[in-house]
Homo-oligomer: A and B are copies of this chain.
Amino acid sequence: MNNPSDQPETAATDAIHFASRTSVEQVEEGQDLAPKFDRDGLIVCVTTDAVSGDVLMLGYMNRDALEKTILTGEAHYWSRSRQVLWHKGATSGLVQHVVEMRIDDDQDAVWLRVSLSAGTHSAPASCHVGYRSCFYRTVELGSGKIAYAETEKTFDPKKVYGDASNPTIL
């Protein structure tokens, strides 16, 4: 009767109550946290640097990732390429500490303002390519030409991620 399976690792995920979505008024102007997950069970999340305001990354959360982020104050996502819960920084040390979480009008998007940890081999950063922000390139208006907003990488991704597979999918 003391089987460890009685205490599944996901037990804590019941601690946050997500309300059913019953009306536009409730969702937009109420006090209920009633997030809308899409047909894949995901909600989109934009993450900004709490100090600079720069957008660091855009990710996705499933119900479990959203709950764990609220409960722990550290950003968790759902990795669409690896199909696993992704505690940001678990591999790289580049943990995102949530300073503030917001949700949008129709509750189908989350905004995290975070402060960044330095990693074992890196100054504070967020992008697997080695830049501080995933949005390290500009698109020129009028032409669509690409230019680099960040001119130097913050870290060497080979040192931080080793042989881990690249998450980019063509």
Residues of A within 8 A of B (CB): 16-18, 21-24, 27-33, 36, 44, 46, 48, 52-55, 57-58, 70-71, 73, 98, 100-106, 109-111, 127-129, 131, 134-146, 149, 166-170
Contacts and interface: CB of A to CB of B under 8 A. Distances in A.
A126 to B, nearest CB: 10
A43 to B, nearest CB: 10
A101 to B, nearest CB: 4
Integer count of this chain's copies in the complex: 2
28 contacts: A18-B144, A21-B170, A22-B170, A24-B168, A24-B170, A27-B170, A33-B146, A44-B44, A46-B55, A48-B55, A53-B54, A55-B55, A55-B102, A58-B104, A58-B109, A70-B139, A70-B142, A102-B136, A103-B138, A103-B139, A103-B146, A105-B134, A106-B167, A106-B169, A109-B134, A109-B135, A110-B139, A111-B135
A31 B71 CA distance: 41
Nearest to A51: B53
Contacts of A143: 16, 70
